[in-house]
């Protein structure tokens, strides 16, 4: 009985410990809860979020918020108030994003709100300043989802039916960055599955529109704003060439000046690009009236992040083809946010400029807060000043007002953010090496906030070289050896790189051997017999060197490696001269005869060896002269190789 009680007690103790373990594990899952207070059709929403875990050394951690009210409206306020137009049950969705926090963003279960009485007037105010926009609730981050908000407005003075496209997953990245997991519509927008579209190719000339003149471009994206365009087939084909996936929706019965929203949830894939300095994009196309080809195009660039830090630097030059960089202009974007309790009046951005770039070509493309470029003299109005040091460009927003996220009565989260976007060209001469740059952001007189590194890398590229020269064999008689071949190496490498070659060698050489012996002759007299063998060889060889090279500077290169030498074919013409001399000394010839023979073989031998070399000329690309010493592991086949090479 005692043992039974002990066993039962142990069972309950273990069960309790297991339950405590499970409870402790559950507490590690961060969740946010939707709370609300309803007054008939007016609802006040309140978020209940877990405590933030401050990143050491970072600015004060905070949440940013995004709400969907289940009726096609949304808000980015912390605790929004929303008035519903009609009775019904609505699904409320909420996303909280933790900034400067060590953990993941909390998850939130949707909540239903039921409206049974409508007593408050629904105010359907126009809020869009453009007819078509794209927004997102946060930057894309591996293992998280984002919401893309597509907003569109009927700019016509009549009811319209139209189309909407969302393009995503750029062709230039091998793996997909997103899966489109959910599309939430509220005005009977219908998904169209067919891949073929009928275009009217008609233009509504009732207003003045800007016609598109771009050609279809497959390598790069021509960023589009919301300017109205007229060549819809060109826009669709260009977008299909740049993006792998798209979603097509049709809408109808849209009243003049009516505004609508569609919400897309994009799940990040396990194969998502992890480079945090890379810029990825999605594209929206809005056709207000299906009877005409007039349309709007909107591109939304996004920076991949590993933690939600609103202060960030990114570039479109993450991976570049070194051959084509002369024709490329880099674009950088520096984003910042004032998370203080008061407004910022001066913001200074001290940005590293890699030495490969020409600082004199920097051009400011866009900025927020919007202001003029500062003149040389001091002014009192808001402006952006640009100065330079040897290694930096310094952008300074002067006399501005950027609210703080913790400032009293500041409800619009995006109003506390700013950015500057600029372009810069490459210098005339620079090496093929990875570069990194970052920005120190200084709000007024506070301590600098250091951004991530924006990295520029070059694709390896392939350089094909043509090679010809002469082989000098040290131990072969009457040797003549010429060769032609090709080399393969990375294009214009900076220091260390691998090189593989295939060389056809045409060789000829002679070997001689003489043997003498005493033999018995007639009547018992001794004779001297001499055998003289002469062989003329004509060979075709394949040489396959694999070497590692190092460019000392632009004009001197060194290399070392291994080599395989295949005797592809060999022709041998042999002459055997037999001589008999009287007595035992070669003084008087008694008899002489000559024998001729010819022999041809293929793949007769494989010689292996090591090599060292040096080149002088244009070490990275172009013509140069070289000398190489090859030491074969077989005797009599060590040789010097003198050559000219031109790398393309």
Nearest to 595 by CA among 535, 528, 538, 539: 535
Q: Is the pLDDT of residue 2 over 50?
A: no
User: Which residues, other chains included, contact 254 with Cβ-Cβ below 8 Å and sequence gap of 6+?
Assistant: 154, 159, 160, 161, 162, 187, 260
Measuring CA to CA, how many Å separate 364 from each of 83, 370, 436, 549? 42, 12, 20, 41
C-beta of residue 236 within 8 angstroms of C-beta of residue 48: no
Q: How far apart are CA 329 and CA 222, in angstroms?
A: 12
For residue 24, what pLDDT is reported? 38
Q: Is the pLDDT of residue 635 over 60?
A: yes
Q: What is the set of domains in the chain, with CATH numbers?
A: 31-121 (2.60.40.10), 132-308 (2.60.40.740), 312-430 (2.60.40), 463-647 (2.40.160)
For residue 431, what pLDDT is reported? 85
Between 478 and 299, the higher pLDDT residue: 299
What average pLDDT does this structure show over 470-497? Answer: 90
For residue 459, what pLDDT is reported? 83
pLDDT tens digit string along 186-234? Answer: 999 999 886 555 455 565 554 433 333 333 333 344 455 556 788 899 9
Kindly report which listed range (179-193, 260-274, 318-332) carries the lowest average pLDDT score: 318-332
% of the chain exceeding 90 in pLDDT: 50
E-only strand ranges, 49-144: 62-68, 74-75, 81-83, 88-99, 107-108, 111-115, 132-136
C-beta of residue 450 within 8 angstroms of C-beta of residue 473: no
- Maximum C-alpha span of the chain: 146
pLDDT band, very low/low/confident/very high, at 615 (cuts 50, 70, 90): very high
For residue 253, what pLDDT is reported? 95
pLDDT tens digit string along 508-541? Answer: 888 888 998 888 776 677 888 889 888 888 888 8
pLDDT band, very low/low/confident/very high, at 1 (cuts 50, 70, 90): very low
pLDDT tens digit string along 51-89? Answer: 988 877 677 888 999 999 999 999 999 999 999 999 999
pLDDT tens digit string along 302-322? Answer: 887 766 778 889 888 877 888
Mean pLDDT of the chain: 85
For residue 213, what pLDDT is reported? 30
What average pLDDT does this structure show over 82-100? Answer: 93
pLDDT band, very low/low/confident/very high, at 125 (cuts 50, 70, 90): low
pLDDT tens digit string along 562-608? Answer: 999 888 888 888 999 988 888 888 888 888 898 888 888 887 788 89
% of the chain exceeding 70 in pLDDT: 88
Q: How far apart are CA 30 and CA 45, in angstroms?
A: 20
For residue 276, what pLDDT is reported? 65
For residue 566, what pLDDT is reported? 87
For residue 202, what pLDDT is reported? 61
DSSP letters spanning 438-466: -EEEEETTSPPEE-PPEEEEEE---EEEE
For residue 212, what pLDDT is reported? 31
Between 635 and 581, the higher pLDDT residue: 581
């Amino acid at each position: 009985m005692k043992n039974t009680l002990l066993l039962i007690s142990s069972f309950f103790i273990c069960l309790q410990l297991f339950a405590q373990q499970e409870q402790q594990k559950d507490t590690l899952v961060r969740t946010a809860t939707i709370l609300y207070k309803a007054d008939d059709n007016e609802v006040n929403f309140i978020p209940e979020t877990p405590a933030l875990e401050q990143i050491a050394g970072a600015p004060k951690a905070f949440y940013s918020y995004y709400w969907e009210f289940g009726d096609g409206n949304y808000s980015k306020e912390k605790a929004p108030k929303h008035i519903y137009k009609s009775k019904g049950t609505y699904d409320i969705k909420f996303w909280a994003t933790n900034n400067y926090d060590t953990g993941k963003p909390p998850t939130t279960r949707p909540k239903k709100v039921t409206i049974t009485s409508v007593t408050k007037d629904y105010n359907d105010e126009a809020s869009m300043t453009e007819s078509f926009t794209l927004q997102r609730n946060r930057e894309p981050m591996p293992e998280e989802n984002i919401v893309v908000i597509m907003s569109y407005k009927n700019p016509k003075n009549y009811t319209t039916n139209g189309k909407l496209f969302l393009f995503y997953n750029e062709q230039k990245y091998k793996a997909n960055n997103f899966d489109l997991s959910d599309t939430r519509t509220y005005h009977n927008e219908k998904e169209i599955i067919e891949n073929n579209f009928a275009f009217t190719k008609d233009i509504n000339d009732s207003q003045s529109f800007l016609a598109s003149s771009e050609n279809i471009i497959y390598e790069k994206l021509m960023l589009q704003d919301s300017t109205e365009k007229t060549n819809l087939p060109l826009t669709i084909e260009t977008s299909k060439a740049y993006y792998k996936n798209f979603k097509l929706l049709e809408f109808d019965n849209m009243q003049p000046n009516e505004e609508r929203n569609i919400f897309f949830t994009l799940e990040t894939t396990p194969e998502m690009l992890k480079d945090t300095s890379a810029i990825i994009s999605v594209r929206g196309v809005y056709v207000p009236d299906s009877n005409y080809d007039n349309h709007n195009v909107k591109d939304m660039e996004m920076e991949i992040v590993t933690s939600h830090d609103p202060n960030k630097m990114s570039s479109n030059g993450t991976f570049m083809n070194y051959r084509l960089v002369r024709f490329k202009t880099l674009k950088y974007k520096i984003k910042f946010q004032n998370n203080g309790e008061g407004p910022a009046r001066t913001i200074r951005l001290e940005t590293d400029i890699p030495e490969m770039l020409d600082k004199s070509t920097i051009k400011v493309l866009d900025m927020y807060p919007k202001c003029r470029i500062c003149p040389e003299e001091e002014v009192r109005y808001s402006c952006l000043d640009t100065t330079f040091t040897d290694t930096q460009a310094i952008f300074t927003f002067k006399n501005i007002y950027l609210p703080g996220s913790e400032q009293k009565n500041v409800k619009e989260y995006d109003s506390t953010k700013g950015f500057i976007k600029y372009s810069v060209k490459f210098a005339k001469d620079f090496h093929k090496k990875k570069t990194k740059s970052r920005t120190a952001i200084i709000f007024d007189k506070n301590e600098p906030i250091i951004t991530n590194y924006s990295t520029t890398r070059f694709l390896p590229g392939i350089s094909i070289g043509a090679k010809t020269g002469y082989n000098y064999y040290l131990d072969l008689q009457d040797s003549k050896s010429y060769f032609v071949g090709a080399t393969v190496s990375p294009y214009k490498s900076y220091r260390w790189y691998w090189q593989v070659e295939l060389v056809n060698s045409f060789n000829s050489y002679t070997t001689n051997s003489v043997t003498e012996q005493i033999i018995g002759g007639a009547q018992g007299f001794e004779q001297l017999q001499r055998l003289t063998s002469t062989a003329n060889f004509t060979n075709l060889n394949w040489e396959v060197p694999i070497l590692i090279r190092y460019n000392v500077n632009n004009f001197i290169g060194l290399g070392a490696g291994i080599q395989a030498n295949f005797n592809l074919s060999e022709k041998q013409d042999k002459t055997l001269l037999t001589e008999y001399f009287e007595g035992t000394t070669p003084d008087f010839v008694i008899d002489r005869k000559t024998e001729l023979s010819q022999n041809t073989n293929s793949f007769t031998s494989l010689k292996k060896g090591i090599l060292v070399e040096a080149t002088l000329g244009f070490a990275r690309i172009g013509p140069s002269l070289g000398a190489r010493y090859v030491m074969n592991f077989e005797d009599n086949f060590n040789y010097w190789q003198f050559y000219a090479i031109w790398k393309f």
